[in-house]
Amino acid sequence: MSFQAYIDNIKIKTGKTPDDFKNLAEEKGFIIEGKLNLNTKATEITNWLKDEFELGHGHAMAIFATFKGKTK
């Protein structure tokens, strides 16, 4: 599955875009001033996405990748 397919499927499932997730991550302190909080581990973020939005591991990692600046 392509990266874009992951993002598209996440939008269909949750109704949220990567920017929506980024805003929510900022509220949780995972992102500070537009950058990943260095004290936050990837597992914390992926577990949050799995628990709160019922994303699978690959889909959660795709959102995490967007937090790191990957867009394609």
Domains of the chain by residue range: 3-67
pLDDT value, residue 70: 80
Query: How far, in Å, CA of 39 to CA of 30, rounded?
Result: 8
**Residue 5 — φ and ψ, nearest 5°?**
-65, -40
Backbone angles phi, psi at 53, to 5 degrees: -120, 5
Please state, in angstroms and rounded to a whole number, the distance separating the CA atoms of residues 72 and 66. Answer: 9
pTM, entire model: 0.92
In the predicted structure, residue 36 carries a pLDDT above the cut 90: yes
Predicted confidence at residue 72, as pLDDT, reads 57
Strands (E), the chain: 31-32, 35-36
The rounded distance, in Å, linking the Cα atoms of 32 and 39 is 11
